[in-house]
Structures are given as structure tokens and as C-alpha cells.
Amino acid sequence: MHTPVFLIHVAVGLISSYGYQIISRKKETEQASEKSDCQGVEICHLFQSSNAVDADINTCTRTKEIGFTSPDKWTWWYVDLENILSIYSIRIQFKDYGERYVMRQTGRFAGFSLYISNTTIKEDGYLCYKNGPELPTLDFSTTCVKHGRYVIFYNERLDGTTYPTGYQITTVYTELCEVTVTGCKESGVYGYNCDVPCLNNCQELRCDIVNGTCVGCTAGWVGEFCNKYCPAGYYGLQCRSTCTGHCRDNLSCNHTTGQCDYGCGKEWTGLHCNTQCPGCVHNCSGQCLSYRPCNRTTGRCDGGCNPGYTGELCDKVGRYGLNCSEICSSRCRSESNHCNHRDGHCEHGCDDGFQGSTCEESFVIELVA
């Protein structure tokens, strides 16, 4: 009774200590060929790969033996987490036959590797753990802060290889009784309770499960938390792309898209101002909206005019106010009835006989004899 109590105690302690969620339980699994004497449904059921994620320490997997005297030289097992999730730790409880067989069992499992991958191919992923010359414990845990869909167990006994003392090199069975992967069940979150959202600029909303640093940044952003713009003159993913340098007034391009948001410099056109146009001969009117420059081919202020100006080239006056909706007084003393483009007051005074800010008040000039 001592051993089961101990195992339950460790399992509960692992969860309460780290606070992360179990993300491997009851998920789909696969493994290398099962034990060679697995014949018949009932016998095979005892060794199937899903036994390692069924939350029952008394049911275990068992693959065909590997070793110097066996035809098979490597073995594997994996669990599919169904989505690319944020992983914190991996715990493996190997088959324990009691104190008498501890050295044999640890020697069988010695040298194993754990991978985190987005495919079922371990080489596509990240080596999370590789057992060395020290024999593993039969209840093994390791921290592996990574993102991935598959957790892959792998071991081998290759001919011609010298293995450390204690490694079993013949009749090596792999028996996994429980594999517990902890992390966050939902993507885009991190933290002790998996309840803190990753920052919006994190690429694919993936961040470190412990501290929230971004695994990668969306286009235009850099820094551990992806909260810094690309340096001036650069844009895109990891700020690797260089602006063309032909934006209007030598401004930098948009740090995300690389486009020249305020238009192009003289004789350049296109969203990125990287196309030279010999036909760009028109000078923009000084009264085009500053943030919507004129069409470099036609010279027209397609984006609109500054207040007080109108016309395709924003070269007409005589109006004022929002959208030039008001007409200047005809009594303003200036050519084209020019008035202040904001409030309509006659900046140059009024015609004779009129007064007031908009020259609409008439008065009589009395002549003294």
C-alpha cells in the first residue's frame, strides 16, 4: 500500500505546486509495434499506447523489445495534444516491478529522449530532455517550457554503440504507465492559472507560459513583449525588411506594412514608393491635406484640401469652414473675396461702407462741412 499512496501524493503535489493544467489525459496516442507476443484483442489491450494517458497507474504500454540481440533497435511513443499548446512540464511513470527489479527497469529506460514537435516527426521538433549516463528514476519529471502539439518519447539501442554502465542493452522493453503533460488547455494564455492573455503583438498569440514573453512578434514589432516599433527605416517580420527611402519628406515607411502612409517623394509612386514614374511632373498644391498628398501623376488633391481651399488642385478660395461649406462675404477687401479659412473673418478689411469681422454691417460716412 505504501507505493500507491506515494504515487498519488506526488501526482497531487505536482499539480498543486505548478498550478498548470493536465493537457495529455485521454488524448490520442501512437507507439512503435507492440510486444511481439501480443496476439489477440484481449492480450493487445494490455499493452496499447493509450494506457499511458488513462489516469490509471496500473495499466501500462509495452512495445516490442529493442537491443543488440533484437531485430528492432529503437522504439517510440507519442501523445497528440490536438492543438499547438503551451507546455510546462512532462512526468513519466515507468513500470515498477518492485525493489528487486529497480536496476533492471531503470537500465531499460536509460538513455531515453523527449521531444516537443508540431508534427509526429521528432526531428521537426525540439529536444526537451536527453537522459545521460545517470540512470533515470522510475517516476521522472522535467520542466520543458515550449509550444507544440506532440510530445514524443524515444529510445534506442544501436549496434556498435558503447553505452554507460547500468544500461540494459538486450531485451529492452518500454513500459510507460502514465505520461502526464501539464500546460494550458487554451492557446493564447499564460500564467499560474492559465488566465492571463498573451499580448496582441505576440505572433499567433503564443507566449512563454511562465512570464508571458512572446515566442515571436507580428510584423512591425520587436522586443521580448513585442511592444517596440521597428527602428526607423525597417519594417515587417523581425524588422528584416528595409524601407525604400522614397517616402514623402524622407519619412520612414509604415513599420508594419512598409507602405508610405503619407505619400511618395518626387517622381516616385506605388504603395511602397518603389516605382519611378517619369510622368510625375506635377507639383502638389501646398493646400492638399498633409496626410493625404496629391496624386503625383495628375497633381490633383484626391484626398481633399486644407480648410478654406477647394477645387481639384485645392487652389480656389472664397470659402471657409468645415468642408468649405460657407462662402466668404463679397464685401471682404481682397481679390476673389478671400477671407480667413477657419472663421470667415475678412483678414484684409472691408470694402468702403462696411464693417464687422465679416463685413456684413453697413454704415454711413457723414461728411463734415
- Within a 10 A sphere around the Cβ of 363, how many other Cβ atoms? 11
Report the pLDDT value the prediction gives residue 14, as an integer from 0 to 100.
37
Q: Which domains are delineated in the chain?
A: 2-185 (2.60.120.260)
Contact 294/262 with Cβ under 8 angstroms? no
Each residue of 274-326: pLDDT tens digit? 888 765 555 565 567 655 667 656 677 877 777 666 777 776 667 777 767 78
Joined grid coordinates for residue 270: 506605388
Report the pLDDT value the prediction gives residue 363, as an integer from 0 to 100.
76
Cα(29)–Cα(51) distance, integer angstroms: 9
Each residue of 114-161: pLDDT tens digit? 999 999 999 999 999 999 999 999 999 999 999 999 999 999 999 999
Report the pLDDT value the prediction gives residue 338, as an integer from 0 to 100.
74
Task: Find cell 534506442 and name the residue.
Answer: 156
Record the pTM.
0.68
Q: How far is CA 66 from CA 77, 131, 268, 344, in A?
A: 14, 17, 68, 93
DSSP lists the bridge partners of residue 264 as 247
Report the pLDDT value the prediction gives residue 282, as an integer from 0 to 100.
56
Joined grid coordinates for residue 74: 529503437
Report the pLDDT value the prediction gives residue 15, as an integer from 0 to 100.
37
**Residues of the chain scoring pLDDT < 50:** 1-18, 35-37, 40-42, 367-369
Report the pLDDT value the prediction gives residue 302, as an integer from 0 to 100.
75
Q: What is 126-175 written as a DSSP string? A: EEEEE--SSPPPSEEEEEEEEEEEEEEEEEE--TT----TT---SSB---
